[in-house]
Amino acid sequence: MKRKEGIIMQDMLYLFKRKRRQRGILLTAVALSILALSANTLAATPQQIVLSSAETAITVEAGSDAPKLVEVRLQNQNSDRWRNQISEALIDHVDIGGVMYPLRWHLQTSKVTASADTVSLIYETVAAPHLRLTWQWRVRADKGPIEHTIFIQNLGQSEVWLPLQPSFRFDWKVDPKQSLQRLWVEKGSGTPSSVGTHLDDLHPGDSWTGTSTSYANPVSYQSREMIPYALVSNSRGDRSGWYIGMEFSGRTRITLGRDRGSVRGEVGLNPDPGPFQTRLLAGESFETPTVFLGTFSGGPDGAANILRRWVRQVLNNPLTVQNLSYPLMTSNTWGEGLEINETQAYRMIDQAAQLGLEMLHIDAGWFKGVGDWYPSPSKFPHGLAPIADEAHRRGLKFGMWVNWAQAGIGTEPGSLNVNDPKVKDWLIADTPPDWKPDSFVGRTMDIGVPAVKDYTLHEIERIVRDNHLDMLEHDGYLVANSCSRLDHPHAASNLPPTSTAVEGNGLAMPESSNSTDVSYHAVRSYYEIYSHLREQHPALMFEICNDGGRMVDFGSAAHGDYISITDTYDPLSNRRAFFDASYVFPPAMLETYVDRWPTPRIENFRYMLRSGMMGWFSLMFDPTLAGNPNTLDISRLVTIPKWTADDYAAAREEFALYKDKLRPLIRNADLYHVSERPDGIHWDGMEYFDPKSRRGVLFAFHGSTTTESVHHFQLQGINPKRSYRLTFHDRGSSSDVVVSGLALMQAGVDVSLPVPISSDLVFFQEESQ
């Protein structure tokens, strides 16, 4: 016992010293006495440990047969403590050879670890089968949420089949009279809906289930998928509360409900359609999708300004976010569809350099065929490497689209042919005899299969190397919907070996009982592939497209550098998708494509460009060519002329302004939603403000209404006791005015735009004392 006491004192001394070094990360050292308690004592009086960041503090409890998150609270505030009424739900059985074995878990007190940034509680089964479960909470930054993961290891000699282990469940005790609100955000996949951001009152009796996959094609907001994130806050006072999210790109689910005395929910893999099972071989470990839990005050924007900085610091690639040219301004070829060729690529390099853009991005259409990821000899007779070299010579980066998880019917060396016996077994299902791929979508391979993972890793390495890439975009059904194979690592499917719903016809295979397990293995392989590529090519950037906004999630944020947030490219769709996704992600990684659009006046032209300039900007066409917009109502389809000299001059000015003044704010500033969600009719706006440089900008957009030529925007985040100099960009410096922060927050700034479908940028700087 004396030896254990000595260890405890050493740990407490270490934590005291570390506490002084690590501001904002605290651990209640006295709780480490848990290490010296016997199992019997622990069962009688479970010990509690506190772990915290600057904003969020959690208390965990080491129960003898199950752990518990006791409460979560906002640091240094007199706000409510969210007290949990239930312990963690640990799996209670496994399947071995078709026989169900019940499980009883027991805390291993000698294996509990607690430090200034991590708490791990270890449980093992009392009898065979021998499993070990690690219940872990981790602080990875001074500020922001706290992460949680459960690991289950098979210590036995036989394979076992696990049922669903939720990542986290909760039942917060609340005052029945307390007014609460719930927020969740849709993905912008396809076309953003008319709702997008859902901020609703949470009444007793209300319930909600949000789901996320990487392939959904919703047709209405009732079936829209969520970005895997939810928030609950007080609707009055400091509007404080908590938020939770998942760092996973597979099939996930969040449930949330309220009765009179509690708010309850569950977060993790989606159990439907079920029953869910996953195989665990001897010595293997299963890992639940990591969740993060945080607290905030100041409503959804208060939460967002904490979370976005945490995502940038913890999840994003450090080399990317430290690059002062991030986010880049890109010239993308997709506006010309599949007809891109060598002549046009060289012309677009020249145009991009003249306009001040920073990367040429060759989109779909460059390849021989689906699964045959080599340059088309008819379109690119000299390959893509010389084009990349020319882009580099002109000071541009070079990026390329690849749908690398898809197979087709190509017969040339190096192509993935669905009829090749080796490739056939890699597919999620057999293909009908007359099957053909679409122009750029084929049959999905199951990348959760180790051989497929190894193949794709080497294939992507070749693509990056052969084509001198600075950026790789992935698209299509990368994470399979389901799989009918019996010899793959995932659980068996209730689908037949073939399916008439195949990707080549624009559809994914229907969901089946193994869909979640298929996606679990595929996502893990995908992450391993991209982590390896990061190691081999540290400066290589990744765009996450996946059919335009279907993988907008925190797993993507941890493995990609920027995300395409919508597959519709008109100004309204771009602003709607940005409005929604910016509640959870750093704006620098939110990409909107700017397509051709009718701009009879120069004010309309700037409105079009600026609608895509609040995050990562991609110009999606060759401005030297005329064309038809592909995102408007059929009644509005007209031929869009080539850019005029005035258009070129305005574009060069806007792009220079982006790099000089807007990009530093997009990278570093807080962001505030200072209007209702865009509807294309009324005014809408977004505000950036950087408290360090004390600079900001208001993006102001005047919709189609002709009845309101002046609008008032109330600024947020500024100091009400200081004054600010305002510059209206389109009206010139002669309109500069100094206004008190209090007036800007209460009365707001007046923006006058007499022309509908127009915009302005209002820059503001705090005056020195």
What is residue 393's three-state secondary structure? helix
Asked if the model's pLDDT at residue 567 lies above 70, the reply is: yes
DSSP secondary structure of 525-577: HHHHHHHHHHHH-TT-EEEE-HHHHS--SHHHHHH-SEEE--S--SHHHHHHH
590-594 and 562-564: which strand pairing?
parallel
The tens digit of pLDDT for each residue in 613-650 reads 999 999 999 999 887 555 444 444 467 889 999 999 99
Mean pLDDT calculated for residue range 340-355: 97
Which amino acid makes up residue 257?
G
Q: What are phi and psi of 561, to 5 degrees?
A: -100, -25
Which amino acid makes up residue 354?
Q
Angle at which helix 450-466 crosses helix 515-536, to 10 degrees, equals 40
What burial letters (b/e) apply to 342-351, b meaning 16+ CB within 10 Å? Answer: bebbbebbeb
What burial class does residue 421 get, using C-beta atoms within 10 Å of its C-beta: 0-12 exposed, 13-18 middle, 19+ buried? exposed
Q: How far is residue 132's CA from residue 486's CA, in Å, rounded to a whole number? A: 28
Q: How far is residue 267's CA from residue 166's CA, in Å, rounded to a whole number? A: 6
pLDDT at residue 508 in the model: 57
Number of Cβ atoms within 10 Å of the Cβ of 567: 21
Region of poorest pLDDT, from 22-26, 132-136, 681-685, 721-725: 22-26
Terminal Cα-to-Cα distance of the chain (whole angstroms)? 62
List Cβ neighbours of 510 (8 Å cut-off, separation of 6 or more).
Answer: 481, 482, 495, 499, 501
Asked if the model's pLDDT at residue 361 lies above 70, the reply is: yes
Query: Confidence band (pLDDT; 50, 70, 90) for 544?
Result: very high
| Nearest alpha-carbon partner for 589 in 623, 629, 549 | 549
List Cβ neighbours of 259 (8 Å cut-off, separation of 6 or more).
Answer: 204, 205
Query: How far is residue 740 from each of residues 92, 386, 720, 724, 769, measured CA to CA in Å?
Result: 61, 56, 7, 6, 13
Sheet order of strands, 82-84 included: 26-27, 48-52, 56-62, 67-74, 82-84, 168-173, 262-269, 252-258, 207-212
Percent of the chain with pLDDT strictly greater than 70:
89
Q: How far is residue 762's CA from residue 666's CA, in Å, rounded to a whole number? A: 15
Average pLDDT value over all residues in the chain? 90
pLDDT at residue 34 in the model: 37
pLDDT at residue 499 in the model: 52
Number of Cβ atoms within 10 Å of the Cβ of 285: 12
Region of poorest pLDDT, from 43-47, 200-204, 525-529: 43-47
pLDDT at residue 498 in the model: 54
What burial class does residue 750 get, using C-beta atoms within 10 Å of its C-beta: 0-12 exposed, 13-18 middle, 19+ buried? middle
Mean pLDDT calculated for residue range 118-122: 97
Asked if the model's pLDDT at residue 25 lies above 50, the reply is: no
Asked if the model's pLDDT at residue 116 lies above 70, the reply is: yes
Q: How far is residue 668's CA from residue 588's CA, in Å, rounded to a whole number? A: 9
Region of poorest pLDDT, from 208-222, 496-510, 682-696: 496-510
Radius of gyration of the chain (CA): 27
Which of 272-281, 498-507, 633-642: highest mean pLDDT? Answer: 272-281
| Nearest alpha-carbon partner for 360 in 334, 338, 325 | 334
| DSSP letter (8 states) at residue 208 | E
Asked if residue 528 lies in contact with residue 453, where contact means CB atoms within 8 angstroms, the answer is: yes
Angle at which helix 342-355 crosses helix 645-657, to 10 degrees, equals 60
Query: Confidence band (pLDDT; 50, 70, 90) for 495?
Result: low
H or E element in which residue 628 lies: none
Q: How far is residue 482's CA from residue 492's CA, in Å, rounded to a whole number? A: 10
Which amino acid makes up residue 666?
I
| DSSP letter (8 states) at residue 640 | B
Region of poorest pLDDT, from 41-55, 224-238, 597-611, 737-751: 41-55
pLDDT at residue 347 in the model: 96
Tokens standing for 615? 């995050």
